[in-house]
């Protein structure tokens, strides 16, 4: 049985109401973006299944669902870099989640504060010519983050 | 033919390199979050297919792919509320996009500045008891936004 209500057939309630009724997609997932509650720095953009969202609400620690590993994971379970939830928001049609978190160290497995450490260069030009530039610095060496 | 390279088999290049090689999912989509370039207010979290990303890069106006309507759309094509791209970032494994945009009016079709106008109440308690609270004010009445 689902934890959350299904309001997908009731647009008014879904978009204007006060019932939390996340609309999981065909794979059972919603998108979730985590930002630093103080700086508003965008840290991670990942996915949650029902269990991940429920655990995030209940424990105050962000849980995601890994599409590549096909499993639930608590952010920081291996690296120790937990994201502590301060506030959660849903979007208009309840298929996306915004997490405002405290995260002292790197949120990226590559050791950067944010997963978005590369900027696209070459806007307003043919997309095939665009390139990336690393615009951030590693906080902790990934070998240190994931050493056992 | 694809506009972008496929580096999904080359983790080092994918995550550390300077080649833009977005990893579209089985449905041909990546997640994309748009924030206000100045305030860092999170505005929208949606999806892009290859064409939407290419057009966003090339035109400087944010394009998404609507999963519900199954079509490409330029943000603001009906409402006039265009998101103008200032900066684009990709995440570590290139399956998510961060857009820093200028958007003067509401980004949400319900007339709010941001789609995330409802906050989840009831953290650190059973998820089935969580509720939503509207925490923002409508900037423009949706009936005005979408009148022809």
Residue A101 burial (10 A CB sphere; 0-12, 13-18, 19+): buried
Apex A119 CA angle, A118 and A124, nearest 5: 155
What integer pLDDT is reported at residue A148 of this predicted model? 54
Cα separation, B24 vs A17, whole angstroms: 33
**pLDDT tens digits for range B36-52:** 999 999 999 999 999 99
Of residues B4, B91, B132, nearest to A116 (C-beta): B91
Q: Which residues contact B77 (CB under 8 A, 6 or more apart)?
A: none
Are the CB atoms for B41 and B106 separated by under 8 Å?
A: no
Q: A134 - beta bridge partners? A: A118
Q: Record the tokens describing residue B13, joined without a space.
A: 């290049």
Where helices occur in A62-136 by DSSP H, the ranges are: none
User: Which secondary-structure segment (H or E) carries B15?
Assistant: helix B11-16
What integer pLDDT is reported at residue A1 of this predicted model? 72
Compute the nearest-CA separation of A92 from chain B (Å): 5
What integer pLDDT is reported at residue A79 of this predicted model? 92
What integer pLDDT is reported at residue B6 of this predicted model? 96
Q: Smallest Cα–Cα separation from B145: which of B93, B109, B100, B92?
A: B109
- Taking CB atoms and an 8 Å cutoff, what residues of chain A touch B59? 124
**pLDDT tens digits for range B120-141:** 999 999 999 999 999 999 999 9
What integer pLDDT is reported at residue B148 of this predicted model? 54
| Band of pLDDT at residue B104, cut at 50, 70 and 90 | confident
What integer pLDDT is reported at residue B146 of this predicted model? 85
Quick one: average pLDDT of A6-35?
97
Cα separation, A58 vs B47, whole angstroms: 28
- Taking CB atoms and an 8 Å cutoff, what residues of chain A touch B141? none
The answer, yes or no, to whether residue A4 has pLDDT greater than 70, is yes
User: Which secondary-structure segment (H or E) carries A15?
Assistant: helix A11-16
**pLDDT tens digits for range A52-97:** 999 999 999 999 999 999 999 999 999 999 999 999 999 999 999 9
SS3 content of chain A, % helix, strand, coil (to 5): 15, 30, 55
Where helices occur in B36-141 by DSSP H, the ranges are: 50-59
The answer, yes or no, to whether residue B147 has pLDDT greater than 90, is no
**pLDDT tens digits for range B51-92:** 999 999 999 999 999 999 999 999 999 999 999 999 999 999
User: What distance, in Å, lies between the first and last C-alpha atoms of chain B?
Assistant: 38
Compute the nearest-CA separation of A126 from chain B (Å): 6
Cα separation, B70 vs B138, whole angstroms: 27
**pLDDT tens digits for range A87-134:** 999 999 999 999 999 998 999 999 999 999 999 999 999 999 999 999
Neighbours of B9 (CB within 10 A): 7
The answer to whether the Cβ–Cβ distance between A128 and B33 falls below 8 Å is no
Q: For the CA atoms of chain A, what is the radius of gyration?
A: 17
Residue A48 burial (10 A CB sphere; 0-12, 13-18, 19+): buried
């Amino acid at each position: 049985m689902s934890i959350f209500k299904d309001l997908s057939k009731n647009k008014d309630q879904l978009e204007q109401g006060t019932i939390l009724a996340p609309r999981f997609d065909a794979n059972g997932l919603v998108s979730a973006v985590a930002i630093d509650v103080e700086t508003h720095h965008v840290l991670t953009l990942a996915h949650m299944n029902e269990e991940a969202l429920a655990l995030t609400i209940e424990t105050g620690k962000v849980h995601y669902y890994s599409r590549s590993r096909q499993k639930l994971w608590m952010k920081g379970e291996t690296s120790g870099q937990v994201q502590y939830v301060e506030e959660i928001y849903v979007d208009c049609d309840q298929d996306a989640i915004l997490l405002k978190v405290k995260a002292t160290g790197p949120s990226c497995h590559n050791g950067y504060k944010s997963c978005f450490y590369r900027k696209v260069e070459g806007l307003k030009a043919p997309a095939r010519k665009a390139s990336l530039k690393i615009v951030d610095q590693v906080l902790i060496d990934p070998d240190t983050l994931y050493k056992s």
